[in-house]
Structure formats: C-alpha cells, structure tokens
C-alpha cells in the first residue's frame, strides 16, 4: 500500500497542523501523527472556547492539511 515518506517537501513539519475553530474562529495548532493514516477524523474540544470540533486531517502531496467542522 502507500508508503509515502513522512517528511514533507521543503522541510515541512508533518507532525503539526493548524485548524480554525468553527466556534470562536481561533487558529489552533495541533500535533498530528502521519503514521496514523493519510486521512483522519476525530472530535476534539477547542482549547480556547471548549466547544467540540470535528477535526479533519489530511496528508497529501507532502503536506498536511487540517480543518474543523462543527460537531452536530
Ligand atoms: Zn474555539
């Protein structure tokens, strides 16, 4: 299966990603684990406003992308 390097292009750190909280609009930096899969989804409480966000993490093209959706 896919065995891509965990090291991104241009020294991008794939162990850290940022998302914008859907509730308070703060940018939250989170540690991420590339070895857990190229597509991840989990619920995490915002450290600023304590509202739950559905975090989506995607490792693609040597980059990590993260975003949040309000948990319903
Ligand atoms: Zn928040």
Please say whether the dihedral angle defined by the alpha carbons of residues 31, 33, 34 and 36, taken in this order, is positive or negative. Answer: negative
Question: How many angstroms does the Cα of residue 38 sit away from the middle of ligand 1?
Answer: 25
Residue 43 domain-assigned (yes or no): yes
Q: How far is the CA of 28 from the centre of ligand 1 (A)?
A: 8
Q: Which residue has the tokens 């959706």?
A: 69
Does residue 60 fall inside a structural domain? yes
Domain range enclosing 34: 11-70
16 in any annotated domain: yes
Write down the pLDDT at residue 34: 93
pLDDT tens-digit series, residues 1-55: 555 556 655 666 799 999 999 899 999 999 999 999 999 999 999 999 999 999 9
What is the CA(56)–ligand 1 centre distance, in A? 15
Instruction: Tell me the pTM.
Output: 0.77
As for how many domains the chain has, the answer is: 1
* pLDDT score of 3: 52
In a domain, 62, yes or no: yes
Furthest C-alpha separation in the chain: 39
pLDDT of residue 44: 94
pLDDT at 10: 61
């Amino acid at each position: 299966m896919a065995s891509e390097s965990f090291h991104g292009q241009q020294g991008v750190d794939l162990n850290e990603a940022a998302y914008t909280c859907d509730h308070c609009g703060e940018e939250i930096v989170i540690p991420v684990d590339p070895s857990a899969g190229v597509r991840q989804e989990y619920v995490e409480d915002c450290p600023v406003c304590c509202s739950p966000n559905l975090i989506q993490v995607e490792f693609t093209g040597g980059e990590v992308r993260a975003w949040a959706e309000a948990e319903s």
